[in-house]
C-alpha cells in the first residue's frame, strides 16, 4: 500500500504542514537529510512536519516538497488551500510565458499593437524626464525593454551608454503613479568604487541637476550606512560596493522592503562566482526584495557560459531562466559546437539586450603603424642576455606543454619589463604581479646585474624619450593624450620624466584614491583628476594610466582623442577596454581617434603587437556575431603567445 502524505498550509505562520505517513518518510535517511538541510523542516511534533517558507518563495518550496514525495514514491494529498496556490502558480507561469514572448519581441524591435503606442508614449515622455539627453534608437529600445520587463540584463559593449539607458527607464518608472504596480521611488547601484563618480556624473548629464546620492562604501562609517538604510527619507540614489554587501545584507534587505527600489548590478561579472563566493551569495539574497533588477556588464561570460548563471538567477530568482545545470554549462563552454548552446541562448534571449560596437555608428579609429625605437646600448645588452637564457627554457617548455607554469609567466613579464625599462628588473616580480609568486634566479652574471642596478642613473629609457616627443607634438596642436602602461613603476617614472622636460601629467592606477564623502579637499582623487582633465584649460593635458586598474567605468572621449601605448601585455581584453575609454558613443562624426604604439625594435614588443592584432580581430568577430561572446576563446592562449615569441626570436636571430 502506497504511503500517503497530506500537504496543508498554515498562512498565519508561513509554514507548509505535512500530515500522514510521517514516520515512514523520516525513516528514509536521504529524505530526512533533505528536509533538514534544504527545506529547514521542523519535527517538533511526531504527528506532522512544519516546513517554513517566505512569501516570495512559496511556490518554489511547495514544488520542492512535491518533488521529494514523488522521488520516494509517496502519494500526495493536497488540501484546497494548497491546490489554490498551485492554480495561482500555473496561472502565473502562463502569464510569465506570455510576458517573455512580449519581452523577446521588444528586444528584437518587433513592436506591434499596444507596444507601438506605448513605445511612442515612452519616447515622447523622455524629453521631459531627461531634458539634457537625446537617446539614439537602440538606447531607446533598450530603455523601453527595461521599463516593460523591469528585470533584465544589458550586455552592451563598453561605451554604448548603459548608464543612460538605466536612468531613462528609472525616470519613466518613477514618474508612474504611486499605486501603479511598476512604480519605483529609489535607485541602488551596486558596483566597484570606481563606478560611483561616473554614475553621479551621468546623472548630471541626463537630468541637468545634482544627484541626490549617498555613497555607502569608501570612508563611510557603519553608523552612517545604518542611518541611511533606516532613514524615513533616505537619498534617492544609494551607491554601495560589492565588498560591502555581505556586511550590511540585513540592513539592505530592510531598506529594500521599506522602499520601491530598482537595484542595478554594475560590472555584474563580479558576482559570477558559482562556488559559494560570499559576495555573490549575499547579492543573490537581495534579489527577491527588489522592485526591479538590472544587470550591466559588457563581458557577461569571460570564462564560460557558467558565468551567466548568477546573472539570470539575480534578475529572475524564482524562475528557471537558465535551463541547464552548472556542469552542463561548463561542458558547453568547452565545446563551441554543442547544440545545447542554441537552446541556452534562446532561453535567456527575452531577458537581455545587447548593443554591439557596429551599432554605435561612431567614427572609425586611426591605428597608426607602430613607431619602432632602438633600445639603448645598456638596455640592449641586458635584454639580449635575458632573452638568450629564456629562449632555451621556452623551447623546452613548448615541447613538454608546460608554458602555463608560473615560471614561464614570470619570464615573459621580465622580458616585457626589460623591453621598456630594465630598472624594473631590480625588484622582485611580486612587486608587480601579486599572483605570480616564483623564485626566479634569472640572473647569475655580476656584470649584467650591476648594469641593472645602476640602469636608472645610466640611461633614460628610449621609449620614454620617444613618447615625450610625440606628446609634445600633440600638445603643440592643442590635443590631450592618455598614455597606457602596464607596470606601475613605469607610470611613476614616466611621469617624472615628463616633468623633467616640462610636461605636466597626472596618473591613474590602482592606488589612486576614489572620491569619498567628507573627504579632505587636498586629497587628489580619481574623480577630481578626470573632472579637471575634461576642463578645456586644465593644468595638465596628459594622463598616464594602467589598463588593468582603470579600463572600466571611465569615459574620456569628450576630452581626449589620442592614446599612446608605452607598453602592453598579451591581455587582449584589457587592451580593447583601454581603447574604449576614448572610442565610445558621443563622438562627433568628424572626430578622429588616434592610437599610437611605441615598440622597442627586435624584442618581445613586436610579438605582443602581432598577437594583439590577431586576438583583437578574433574578439571583434565574436563580439559582433555572438549574443553572448566567450572571451576565454581569445585570452586562454598562453601557449600560442610564447610559441609566437619563440618563432619571432628564431627568425630574428637566424
Query: Are both 170 and 64 inside the same structural domain?
Result: no
Is 270 contained in some domain?
Answer: yes
For residue 439, the model assigns a pLDDT of 53
Query: Are both 319 and 185 inside the same structural domain?
Result: yes
The per-residue pLDDT for range 589-647, each reduced to its tens digit, is 999 999 999 999 999 999 999 999 999 998 888 888 888 877 665 555 557 888 888 88
Q: Above 80 in pLDDT, residue 274?
A: no
Is 415 contained in some domain?
Answer: no
Query: Are both 178 and 73 inside the same structural domain?
Result: no
Nearest Cα to 595, choosing from 371, 402, 420, 375?
371
Over pLDDT 70: what percentage of the chain?
92
CB of 221 within 8 A of CB of 297?
no
Is 328 contained in some domain?
Answer: yes
For residue 459, the model assigns a pLDDT of 95
What's the burial of 447, exposed, middle or buried (CB within 10 Å: 0-12/13-18/19+)?
Answer: exposed
Q: For residue 235, what is its C-alpha cell?
A: 537619498
Is 539 contained in some domain?
Answer: yes
Is 528 contained in some domain?
Answer: yes
Query: Are both 510 and 643 inside the same structural domain?
Result: yes
Return the bridge partners of 352, or none. 153
**What domain range includes position 620?**
366-371+461-653
Query: Are both 84 and 118 inside the same structural domain?
Result: no
419 or 446, which is more confident: 419
Tell me how far apart the alpha carbons of residues 340 and 458 are, in angstroms, rounded to a whole number.
61
> Residue 305, CB half-sphere, CA atoms under 13 Å: how many?
26
What's the burial of 232, exposed, middle or buried (CB within 10 Å: 0-12/13-18/19+)?
Answer: exposed
**Residues 269-295, mean pLDDT to the nearest whole number:** 89
**Residues 225-237, mean pLDDT to the nearest whole number:** 94
170 or 44, which is more confident: 170
- Domain limit, last residue, from 20, 54, 88: 88
Is 618 contained in some domain?
Answer: yes
Is 75 contained in some domain?
Answer: yes
Is 105 contained in some domain?
Answer: no
The total number of structural domains in the chain stands at 3
For residue 565, the model assigns a pLDDT of 98
For residue 463, the model assigns a pLDDT of 98
447 or 568, which is more confident: 568
Nearest Cα to 26, choosing from 47, 52, 57, 55?
47
**Residues 403-411, mean pLDDT to the nearest whole number:** 73
What's the burial of 441, exposed, middle or buried (CB within 10 Å: 0-12/13-18/19+)?
Answer: exposed
For residue 424, the model assigns a pLDDT of 92
For residue 403, the model assigns a pLDDT of 55
Query: Are both 123 and 226 inside the same structural domain?
Result: yes
For residue 349, the model assigns a pLDDT of 93
For residue 261, the model assigns a pLDDT of 96
**Residues 559-588, mean pLDDT to the nearest whole number:** 93
The per-residue pLDDT for range 350-374, each reduced to its tens digit, is 999 999 999 999 999 999 999 999 9
CATH number for the domain spanning 553: value is: 3.40.50.300
pLDDT band, very low/low/confident/very high, at 56 (cuts 50, 70, 90): low
- Domain limit, last residue, from 323, 339, 360: 360
Prediction pTM value: 0.82
Amino acid at each position: 500500500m502506497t504511503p500517503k502524505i497530506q500537504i496543508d498550509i498554515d498562512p498565519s505562520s508561513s509554514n507548509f504542514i505535512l500530515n500522514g505517513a510521517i514516520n515512514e518518510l523520516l525513516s528514509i535517511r536521504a529524505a530526512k537529510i533533505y528536509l533538514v538541510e534544504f527545506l529547514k523542516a521542523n519535527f517538533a511534533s511526531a504527528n506532522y512536519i512544519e516546513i517554513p517558507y517566505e512569501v516570495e518563495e512559496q511556490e518554489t518550496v511547495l514544488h520542492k516538497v512535491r518533488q521529494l514525495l514523488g522521488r520516494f514514491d509517496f502519494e500526495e494529498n493536497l488540501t484546497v488551500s494548497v491546490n489554490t496556490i498551485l492554480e495561482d502558480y500555473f496561472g502565473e507561469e502562463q502569464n510569465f510565458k506570455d510576458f517573455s514572448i512580449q519581452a523577446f519581441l521588444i528586444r528584437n524591435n518587433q513592436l506591434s499593437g499596444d507596444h507601438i503606442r506605448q513605445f511612442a508614449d515612452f519616447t515622447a515622455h523622455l524629453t521631459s524626464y531627461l531634458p539634457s539627453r537625446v537617446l539614439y534608437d537602440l538606447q531607446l529600445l533598450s530603455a523601453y525593454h527595461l521599463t516593460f520587463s523591469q528585470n533584465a540584463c544589458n550586455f552592451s559593449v563598453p561605451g554604448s551608454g548603459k548608464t543612460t539607458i538605466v536612468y531613462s527607464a528609472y525616470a519613466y518608472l518613477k514618474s508612474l503613479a504611486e499605486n501603479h504596480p511598476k512604480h519605483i521611488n529609489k535607485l541602488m547601484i551596486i558596483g566597484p568604487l570606481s563606478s560611483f563618480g561616473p554614475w553621479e556624473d551621468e546623472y548630471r548629464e541626463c537630468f541637468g541637476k545634482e544627484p541626490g546620492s549617498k555613497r555607502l562604501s569608501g570612508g563611510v562609517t557603519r553608523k552612517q550606512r545604518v542611518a541611511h538604510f533606516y532613514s524615513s527619507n533616505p537619498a534617492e540614489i544609494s551607491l554601495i560596493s560589492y565588498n560591502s554587501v555581505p556586511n550590511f545584507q540585513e540592513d539592505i534587505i530592510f531598506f529594500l522592503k521599506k522602499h520601491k527600489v530598482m537595484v542595478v548590478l554594475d560590472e555584474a561579472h563580479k558576482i559570477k562566482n558559482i562556488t559559494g563566493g560570499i559576495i555573490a551569495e549575499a547579492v543573490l539574497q537581495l534579489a527577491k526584495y527588489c522592485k526591479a533588477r538590472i544587470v550591466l556588464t559588457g563581458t557577461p561570460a569571460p570564462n564560460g557560459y557558467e558565468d551567466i548563471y548568477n546573472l539570470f538567477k539575480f534578475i529572475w530568482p524564482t524562475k528557471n531562466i537558465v535551463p541547464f545545470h552548472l556542469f552542463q554549462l561548463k561542458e558547453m563552454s568547452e565545446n563551441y559546437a554543442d547544440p545545447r548552446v542554441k537552446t541556452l541562448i534562446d532561453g535567456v534571449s527575452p531577458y537581455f539586450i545587447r548593443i554591439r560596437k557596429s551599432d554605435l555608428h561612431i567614427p572609425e579609429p586611426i591605428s597608426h603603424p607602430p613607431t619602432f625605437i632602438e633600445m639603448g646600448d645598456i638596455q640592449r645588452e641586458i635584454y639580449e642576455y635575458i632573452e638568450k637564457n629564456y629562449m632555451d627554457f621556452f623551447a623546452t617548455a613548448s615541447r613538454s606543454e608546460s608554458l602555463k607554469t608560473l615560471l614561464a609567466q614570470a619570464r615573459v613579464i621580465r622580458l616585457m619589463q626589460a623591453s621598456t625599462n630594465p630598472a624594473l628588473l631590480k625588484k622582485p616580480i611580486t612587486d608587480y604581479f601579486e599572483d605570480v609568486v616564483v623564485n626566479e634566479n634569472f640572473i647569475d652574471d655580476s656584470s649584467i646585474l650591476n648594469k641593472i642596478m645602476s640602469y636608472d642613473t645610466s640611461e633614460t629609457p628610449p621609449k620614454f624619450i620617444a613618447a615625450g616627443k610625440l606628446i609634445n607634438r600633440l600638445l603643440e596642436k592643442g590635443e590631450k593624450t592618455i598614455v597606457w602602461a602596464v607596470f606601475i613603476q613605469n607610470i611613476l617614472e614616466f611621469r617624472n620624466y615628463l616633468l623633467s622636460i616640462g610636461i605636466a601629467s597626472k596618473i591613474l592606477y590602482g592606488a589612486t584614491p576614489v572620491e569619498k564623502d567628507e573627504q579632505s579637499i587636498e586629497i587628489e582623487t580619481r574623480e577630481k583628476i578626470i573632472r579637471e582633465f575634461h576642463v578645456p584649460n586644465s593644468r595638465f593635458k596628459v594622463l598616464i594610466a594602467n589598463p588593468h586598474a582603470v579600463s572600466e567605468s571611465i569615459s574620456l572621449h569628450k576630452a581626449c582623442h589620442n592614446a599612446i601605448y608605452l607598453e602592453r601585455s598579451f591581455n587582449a581584453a584589457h587592451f580593447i577596454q583601454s581603447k574604449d575609454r576614448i572610442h565610445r558613443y558621443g563622438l562627433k562624426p568628424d572626430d578622429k581617434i588616434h592610437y599610437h604604439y611605441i615598440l622597442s625594435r627586435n624584442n618581445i614588443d613586436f610579438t605582443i603587437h602581432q598577437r594583439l592584432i590577431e586576438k583583437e580581430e578574433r574578439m571583434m568577430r565574436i563580439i559582433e556575431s555572438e549574443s553572448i561572446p566567450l572571451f576565454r576563446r581569445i585570452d586562454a592562449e598562453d601557449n600560442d603567445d610564447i610559441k609566437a615569441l619563440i618563432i619571432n626570436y628564431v627568425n630574428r636571430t637566424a
